[in-house]
Amino acid sequence: MADFIQVRGFEEAIRPPVRPKRARITDHGTVTSRSRADMAPRARLDRIARRVPEVMVKITGRTKDGGHLAAHLAYISRNAALPLEGPDGERLETRDAVKALATDWMAEVEADPRRRKDASVSLSIVLSMPPGTDPFRMHDASRAFAARTFGETHPYVFAFHTDERHPHVHLTVRTLGHDGRKLNPRKADLEQWRQTFAAVLRDRGVEAEATPRRARGVVRKAEIGAVLRMRERFDTGQGAPSKADIGAVRAALDQARRQPWIAPSRERQVAVRKYFVAQAVALSRSPDTEDQRLAKTLEAFVKTMPPVETRREALAKEIEGRAVKATIKDREPTRRR
């Protein structure tokens, strides 16, 4: 294969939304190294162009006291129907063992003289991959991620769930570390965790990537799970709409409301797509067949990138479409006469 000719713009296209140096608790020695072959620009570009599955690492909540922690551990273990795994292969397989862990963690947290009354006891994290991911390799990768990220600093347990379409792991980490250090991650820590999780998956033969939304042409943030569930209940007539949805509809109807962030977002997308096009052209001129293949894949990727559209714009179109349908429906009886 010929030497990879990288045009200017790749680093900006895949740059995370936060700077790694702002990570608060992640040990930089465990961060995925750029010297890895699978982190080379060509390898990452190939995965992006082929739309390799994106990993999800999400903080879902915190427990505040011993009762809350015990209830959470019972939930993720399905009342001990699923084992809770800890460091060094430790497995908790009974309700008594799960309760004992909650009691032990709470006792150590309460013994900390620096603890505030409102301080959290544990942090809840979900690791997820799309449907079709090999569950055995996903499980092993989650085990490796937990050990690499928290094994030397904080106690943890996790449960592997396969009862939904996509395999996922509920990882619970005690906020009080072995050395008294508190677990209070920043967005930069989450970004590094995503990179680590993707790397351990690839080490086990599972194609995975962790790129920012801009590299995939996405401008809208993922919605909160609670809002999605409230919307589902509302759509089926079983509940009221969420305040977030009410506010979004009002914003969509308010055409005079300024959105200064839209222009910079569009400019970033133009720059990202220009880079991909330029890179595809450079690869197409290479005599290497693999480079030419990547050029075609990258060109197809750019053509199928989603339009740059905010949620407000999408809602405005949906509202307008419904109004047009309602008008047509109202006119139908007149036409039939």
Q: Which residue has the higher pLDDT, 243 or 264?
A: 264
Mean predicted confidence (pLDDT) in 50-56? 95
Q: Which amino acid is at 146?
A: A
**Helical (H) or strand (E) element with 135:** helix 135-150
318, HSE (Cβ side, Cα atoms, 13 Å): 10
* Angle in degrees, CA 50, 266, 248, rounded to 5: 100
Q: Which residue has the higher pLDDT, 5 or 99?
A: 99
Lowest mean pLDDT: which of 55-64, 150-159, 190-199, 225-234? Answer: 225-234
Cβ atoms within 10 Å of 254's Cβ, excluding its own = 11
Summarised one tens digit per residue, pLDDT across range 96-129 is: 999 999 999 999 999 988 888 888 999 999 999 9
Task: State percent of the chain over pLDDT 90.
Answer: 54
pLDDT confidence band for 154 (50 / 70 / 90): very high
- The 91-92 sheet, strands edge to edge: 56-63, 122-128, 168-174, 156-161, 84-85, 91-92
Domain definitions of the chain by residue range? 54-209, 225-336
DSSP conformational letter for 38 = G
Mean predicted confidence (pLDDT) in 132-141? 95
244, HSE (Cβ side, Cα atoms, 13 Å): 11
Q: Give the global pTM.
A: 0.81
How far from each other are the two terminal CA atoms of the chain, in whole angstroms?
A: 72
Would you say 142 and 127 are in contact if contact means Cβ atoms under 8 Å apart? yes
CATH top-level class for 54-209?
Answer: alpha beta
Summarised one tens digit per residue, pLDDT across range 255-307 is: 656 666 677 878 888 899 999 999 999 999 999 999 999 999 999 999 999 88
Task: State percent of the chain over pLDDT 70.
Answer: 75
As a whole number, the mean pLDDT across the chain is: 84
What's the rounded Cα separation, in Å, for the pair 149 and 216?
Answer: 27
What's the rounded Cα separation, in Å, for the pair 145 and 206?
Answer: 14
